[in-house]
Structure 1
Amino acid sequence: MSLVFSSVTHAAEHSNGLSSSVMSESSTRDSNMQACAERLHFDSVQDYIHYLDTHNIDMDSITENGVPALYCKDLPLDMKKISGDTKKNTFIMIMLPVIKKINQQIEDDRSQLISLHAKQERGTPLSPEQKLWLENLADQYDVSSGNYRELLQRVNTIPASLVLAQSIQESGWGTSYTARAGNALFGQHRSPGNQNFTVTVDRGRVHLAGYDTIHNAVSAYIHNLNINPAYKHLRQIRADLQARGEPLSGYQLAQGLVHYSTRGKSYIRDLHHLIRGADLEQYDDISLADNPPVTVSFQDA
C-alpha cells in the first residue's frame, strides 16, 4: 500500500462540498479516521481489507457509527482473489460511501426545491440566483421548471439496497471485466453522443458505457432511473411510498425495473432474491460518518 498526500481538492470526488484535511501518515493512523490524508492508494484488495481491519471498520461499526467517507475511485483489479463473505463485505464497503454521498446531494437538492416551491406558494418572489438554480435543476432532470410535481418526483433518492443489488447483479460483486476495466457497474449501454468511453464485450457486439470513477457510474445510473421514461413506474412507486409516509424500499422499487433488462420479470426476481438473500436493506438507513473525505484508488496512484 502506498499513501499519496495532496492539498488539492478533486471536484469530481468532492462535489458535495465536504471539507478535507491533510496530515502526516503517522497522525492519520493514530487519529482513527478523524483526520485523514485526502488520497489513499492500495496495490491490492488485500491491502484495502487490511486497512479496514486496522481501523476497525467493519459491518458492525458502520451500522453503529456510519460508513466512513472513503470514496473509492475504481475497483481492485484482483477482486476475483477474494470470495464468500469477504468479497461481499468488501464490495459493499467500496460502494456504500459513494451511494450515500450521491443520495445526500440529491436529498439536499430536493429539500431546496421544496423550500423554493413553498416560498412561491406564499407569494414571495424568488431571487435571480434562486430562479437560475431552479432552471438549472429542471434542465438537469429534463423537466420544465414550472412543472413542480414532475420535478419533485424525479429529484429523489434511490435506496442503497437497490443500487447495491443492481451493481451486484450486473458486475458479479465487482469481479466482471467491464466493472474493473471501466467502472461499468450497472450494465448501461453507451448512448449516442454521450461523453463516456466505451467498454466492449462479447467479441465487440456489446458496447457498455464506461466511467472514469465509481462516483460517475453511480451518479449516471441513479440519474437514468430518475429521468428515463422507461422507469416512470419506479418513480411512481417511490412517490406513493412517500405519500403514505413509508420508508423507501429497494425491494418495492425494483418492481419498476421491468424494462431494465430483456429478462423482464425474471430480472426483478433476481434483484428481490439479492436484496433479501444478502440482507441489503440493512444498509438503507446507514449514514455517512463525519470523518474528512478520502479518495481511494487501486489502479493508479
Structure 2
Amino acid sequence: MQHKTRTSRHTGASLALLALLALVVIGLFATIWSGLPLPRLPDRVAAAAPANGDMPLPTLAIRSSETKKAVLMQAAFDRIGYSLEAVARGYISVPRVLVANLPPDIDRLDALDGRKTLFLRLMLPVVLFVNEQIGQDRQHLLEIRHAIAGGRQLSDADVQWVLGMADAYDQPDADIDSLLVKVDVIPPSLALAQAIEESGWGTSRIARQGNALFGQFGMAGSGDRDYRVFASLTEAVASYARNLNSHRAYRDLRLMRARMRKREGEIDGWHLAGALTNYSERGGDYVETVRSIMQDNRLEDFDAARLNRMKAATILARADQ
C-alpha cells in the first residue's frame, strides 16, 4: 500500500513537470510565430569566453579606482543600485562595500545634497559591519552564559576568549553579565550623526587624510594631545564603538541601552544621544546638535538596515580589471 502511494506521487509530479514543459514550448513557438525577437544575452556576456577566463565584470562589482574620486564613487553606487531611500524603506539590504578611505575630493563636490548622500552611502555599510562584528561577539557571550547556567564546563578556548574580551572592554572581573552591558551595538543613527558632526560630512582635513571621523584624541609623538588617525574607515568606526562601549564617561549610555534591551529589545539612538553630554565640552548643546542631525536627515530610518549576507558588491583589488 505504501509503495502504491509513492508511485502515484511520482506519477503526479511527472505529469505536472510535463505540463510545465509543454507550456514553455507552446510559449516559445508563440513567440516565434508572432515575429517578436527571442530573448538574448547582452552582447558583452554572449561574447565572453569562459574557457579563457574572459568573463565580463559582474554588474555589482566596483573597481578600486572608482573609490578614489567622489564622482566615480557616486556613479558606482548608482550602478549597483545602492539607494538610501530603498534602504530606508526596507526594500533592499545594504551592499557589503567597505571603502578604506573617504574620496579625497569629497569636499569639492558641487552639490551639498550630493556630498551628504555620498557620505551616508560610504559610512552606512562600515557602521553596519562593525555592529555585525560586535553582534557576533555578543551572541558568543550569550551562548557562554547559557552554557554556564546549564552547568556545562567551559573549554579552555572559551575561557581565554572571555578573558580577552574583558581585557579589550576594560572589564576587570570578566563577569559575563557585566560584559554584556558593554558588548552591544551602536545604533547607526547615532554613529552616523556623530560622524557627520565631528567630520563635517567627511569634508574636514583630518577626516579625508586620516579617517578621523569622531574627534577622538590621542597622544602625538611630541607628547601633545592630537587627533587620532586610523588606517581605514572600519578601524575608525570600531575605535569609536569601543570608546562608547568601554570608557567610564559613557557608563550611563551603556546602562540606558541595557535597560532598552530588557524592555523593548530595540535600541533607540535618539534617547541614547542624551547620555553623550561627556562626549563634548558643549555638553547639552552637543546632544541637541546630534539629535537635530538625526532628525533633519531621518537617520533613524537606517537603524533597521542590515548588510547583504551575500557579497553583492565587491571592490576589485586591481584597478585595471
In structure 2, the partner of 1:66 is 93
1:246 offset after TM fit, Å?
4.2
Is 1:235 the counterpart of 2:254? The answer is yes
Comparing both structures, which one devotes a greater share of its residues to helix? 2
Cα distance in 2 between the residues matched to 1:188 and 1:210: 9
- Out of 176, 184, 205, which is 1:156 matched to? 184
In structure 2, the partner of 1:244 is 263
Q: Which amino acid aligns with 1:263?
A: R
1:26 offset after TM fit, Å?
6.0
Distance change in 2, residues 1:25/1:182 (3 Å): farther
Q: Which amino acid aligns with 1:244?
A: R
Aligned residues of 1:71 and 1:296 also touching (Cα < 8 A): no
User: Unaligned stretches of 5+ in structure 1?
Assistant: 1-23
1:59 offset after TM fit, Å?
1.4
Kindly indicate whether structure 1 or structure 2 has the higher relative contact order, using CA contacts under 8 Å at least 6 residues apart: 1
1:242 offset after TM fit, Å?
0.8
In structure 2, the partner of 1:223 is 242
Task: Give 3-state SS (helix, strand or coil) of 2:192's partner.
Answer: helix
Task: Give 3-state SS (helix, strand or coil) of 1:70's partner.
Answer: coil
Map Cα deviations across residues 154-205 of structure 1 (whole Å, 9 max, x no partner): 0000000000000000000000111001000000111x4xxxx78x9xxxx8
1:85 offset after TM fit, Å?
2.1
Q: Which amino acid aligns with 2:83?
A: D
Task: Give 3-state SS (helix, strand or coil) of 2:193's partner.
Answer: helix
Over the aligned positions, Cα root-mean-square deviation in angstroms equals 2.4
In structure 1, the partner of 2:302 is 283
Task: Give 3-state SS (helix, strand or coil) of 2:91's partner.
Answer: helix
Cα distance in 1 between the residues matched to 2:268 and 2:244: 15
- Out of 80, 89, 96, which is 2:107 matched to? 80
1:74 offset after TM fit, Å?
0.5
Is 1:27 the counterpart of 2:56? The answer is yes
Cα distance in 1 between the residues matched to 2:127 and 2:252: 22
Task: Give 3-state SS (helix, strand or coil) of 1:142's partner.
Answer: coil
- How is 1:1-301 mapped onto 2 (pairs within 5 angstroms)? 27-28=56-57, 31-33=58-60, 36=61, 39=64, 41-62=66-87, 63-82=90-109, 83-144=111-172, 146-190=174-218, 192=219, 207-292=226-311, 294-295=314-315
Distance change in 2, residues 1:55/1:295 (3 Å): closer
Q: Which amino acid aligns with 1:248?
A: I
Q: Which amino acid aligns with 1:108?
A: Q
User: Unaligned stretches of 5+ in structure 2?
Assistant: 1-52
Task: Give 3-state SS (helix, strand or coil) of 2:227's partner.
Answer: strand
Task: Give the TM-score taking structure 1 as reference length.
Answer: 0.80
Distance change in 2, residues 1:290/1:261 (3 Å): same
Instruction: Tell me whether 105-114 or 284-293 shows the greater mean CA deviation.
Output: 284-293
Aligned residues of 2:68 and 2:104 also touching (Cα < 8 A): no
The number of residues matched between the two structures is: 261
1:127 offset after TM fit, Å?
1.0
Aligned residues of 2:62 and 2:316 also touching (Cα < 8 A): no
Instruction: Tell me whether 148-157 or 168-177 shows the greater mean CA deviation.
Output: 148-157
Map Cα deviations across residues 198-226 of structure 1 (whole Å, 9 max, x no partner): 8x9xxxx8610000100010000000000
1:65 offset after TM fit, Å?
1.6
1:294 offset after TM fit, Å?
3.4
Task: Give the TM-score taking structure 2 as reference length.
Answer: 0.76
Aligned residues of 2:126 and 2:237 also touching (Cα < 8 A): yes
1:27 offset after TM fit, Å?
3.1
Aligned residues of 2:94 and 2:305 also touching (Cα < 8 A): yes
1:25 offset after TM fit, Å?
9.1
Map Cα deviations across residues 234-290 of structure 1 (whole Å, 9 max, x no partner): 101101111112411111111111000000000000001011111000011110013
Instruction: Tell me whether 244-253 or 69-78 shows the greater mean CA deviation.
Output: 244-253
* % identical equivalent positions: 31
